[in-house]
Amino acid sequence: MAGDPSKGFGKFFGRVKDRFERLSESVAAANGDDSDLILSVVQRIDVEGELALGGGVESQLESKQEGDMYQKLMRRLQWQLSKSGITPEEAISSYPGEVQAVLLYRSYDKFRESETNLLREKFIEMGWRNIQPNLWVLPPNKTPGGSINSQDLKVWVRKKLAKPCGRDFDYVFPVVAVIDMKKTTADKRGIRKMPTARTIYNVLEPDEVVPPSHLYSVMKSRGFGLRDIILSGDIPFLASAFATQDELMAIQENEEAIVASLKQMTGSQSVNLQDLANLGADLVADAFGSTVVHGKDLAQRLIVEAQYWMRYLGGTVPAPGPMPSAPAMGPRNEREVLLPARPEEHWGGSAEEKEEEEAESLSPQDSWFEPGEKSGEEDEADQPDSENQAMAEAKVKDDRSKS
């Protein structure tokens, strides 16, 4: 029996309005006077297929485009985020509103080996993180938004985890809960480094628990704002506009040695943006040494990038030369994929899904099928029954003759 559509629409728009207001507050706090600077930064990512990864489609809502902008920004600030020392707890504590995650415990001894492997693959595919043996958490940036009750949660778990494994899948999930991480804590005593000593905060990253706009506002409050990073001549940040993933990782790992070498060769106490903009490509390439394969080409592009930002920020630099060509891009690292903003998906608690859930207690096998699917053998599910089809066609002809 379907529910009242007007109530459903009212609840849906209420959730959307609440989420939009929270996102707007967070963006406003992060934005400040950085909006033009942020836009320039995300537009200078010299990566093929950037639109497919981050958005930029004209039909998107303005709020979605803002979210994509901050996602791209955080992609360029991943290394700086790591250096900032911001913990998930710090990012969560200052976020306005709830930070929902799903906590699930599964009973290992109730699974057959094949089922265990299937379920583990599904957990990994959905983005769950393993805290302890059989204890998993779905990060907030993967968790559906909106209010939730126990029935909605049960429908969602069966739809997302159990159903894809097949209608004969046996499982026991002793505890499944949606938690507000702002009201959750974890504690670890001692100096053990064993994997079993992990907590929910060890397995999650700051960019998995809050929207990128809010995370940038936290970074900015810690002295890692865009203007500060650019003026400091942060080499990994400047190189992130054009370097391949392998080159960028090599620069990040050897950043201190590269900067120390530049200081020694120039006799300077610092290497900031202005220093980089006025250095020669040969000198920078020597500082790179064997860190990267295309050292000279990378050095030229780094200097051009530094000169661009000096002009953008009102500094004086030599006239720009031609932009050297970029080396071929290597395969993109999994970490490079943009994290989505708070997902648009909501908990599966519609009237139709609840009816399906109630039907399972009477006919467990049939409950695994979507509306319109047959409950026969799997290899026959996609093939129409010829006899039934013939009867249906005859009925249509009969109806037409009567009319």
User: What string of pLDDT tens digits covers the 403 residues of the chain?
Assistant: 445 555 555 555 555 445 444 444 444 444 456 888 998 888 876 443 343 333 333 333 344 566 688 888 998 999 999 999 999 999 999 999 889 999 999 886 555 666 677 888 889 999 999 998 889 999 999 999 888 899 999 999 999 988 888 877 778 889 999 999 999 998 887 665 555 678 999 899 999 999 999 999 999 998 899 999 999 999 999 999 988 899 999 999 999 999 999 999 989 888 999 999 999 999 999 999 888 888 889 999 999 999 999 999 886 555 444 444 444 434 333 333 333 444 557 776 555 655 665 555 444 444 434 444 443 333 333 344 445 555 556 655 566 565 5
Whether residue 171 is contained in a domain is answered as: yes
Residues 276 and 230 in one domain: yes
Give strand pairing partners of 105: 135, 175
User: Count of domains in the chain?
Assistant: 2
Residues 81 and 227 in one domain: yes
| Both structure tokens of 308 | 């661009």
Whether residue 287 is contained in a domain is answered as: yes
Helix, strand, or coil here: 287?
helix
Helix, strand, or coil here: 330?
coil
Residues 248 and 189 in one domain: no
Residues 251 and 294 in one domain: yes
Whether residue 121 is contained in a domain is answered as: yes
pLDDT score, position 45: 67
Whether residue 402 is contained in a domain is answered as: no
Q: For residues 133-165, b (16+ Cβ closer than 10 Å) or e, as one string?
A: eeebbbbbbbbbbbebeeebbbbbbbbbbbeeb
Whether residue 244 is contained in a domain is answered as: yes
Residues 53 and 106 in one domain: no
Residues 102 and 85 in one domain: no
pLDDT score, position 42: 86
Residues 132 and 184 in one domain: yes
CA angle 32, 36, 37 (to 5 degrees): 85
The residue among 329, 351, 384 that closes a domain is 329
Can you spell out the DSSP letters for 251-271? HHHTHHHHHHHHHHHHT-S--
Whether residue 383 is contained in a domain is answered as: no
Residues 215 and 320 in one domain: yes
The residue among 276, 298, 329 that closes a domain is 329
The residue among 177, 206, 235 that closes a domain is 206
Whether residue 398 is contained in a domain is answered as: no
Instruction: Give CA–CA dist 54/72, Å, rounded.
Output: 7
Domain that holds residue 202: 97-206
Residues 101 and 193 in one domain: yes
> Could you report how far apart the first and last alpha carbons of the chain are, in Å?
31
Residues 217 and 324 in one domain: yes
Residues 165 and 303 in one domain: no
pLDDT score, position 388: 52
Whether residue 13 is contained in a domain is answered as: no
Residues 282 and 306 in one domain: yes
Which among 67, 33, 71 is positioned nearest to 50, based on CA atoms?
71
